[in-house]
Amino acid sequence: MEKTKRDIHHQRLKKTWELRLYVAGQTPKSIAAFANLKEICEEHLAGEYHIEIIDLLKEPQLAADDQILAIPTLVRKLPEPLRKIIGDLSNTERVLVGLNLREK
């Protein structure tokens, strides 16, 4: 997962979309969530996003800061306001609503 993280970690850091995906190890749900997220971002936010993946098994102390309860959780840090989308992100419509890319 670290490798893929670096893959998409390209130079467009200054772009507006800062996303953080919380997972707990490489579970099927985590893998699916990442794949789904990448696909959605490529389609809707190509070149304008940055995804950071936090594995809570490795860094459990980070769970409290973003008030993480469910796994996987996608946190939209930027643009504000902060939004959270929980689940494997298989429901694209809901993800887009959650990211505010589509009207409810």
Q: Which residues bind another protein (CB under 8 A)?
A: 22, 24, 29, 32-33, 36, 56-57, 60-61, 63-64, 67-73, 81-92, 94-95, 97-98
> Of 8 and 92, which CB lies nearer to another protein in the complex structure?
92
Between 36 and 50, whose beta carbon lies closer to another protein? 36
* Min CB(100)–another protein separation in Å: 10
The whole-angstrom distance between residue 80's C-alpha and the CA centroid of its chain comes to 15
In angstroms, give the least distance from the CB of 73 to another protein: 6
Q: Which residues lie closer than 8 Å to 36 by C-beta, 6 or more apart?
A: 88, 89, 90, 92, 95
Which C-beta is closer to another protein: that of 11 or that of 28? Answer: 28
Contacts of 17 (CB under 8 A, 6+ apart): 41, 45, 48, 49, 50, 76, 78, 79
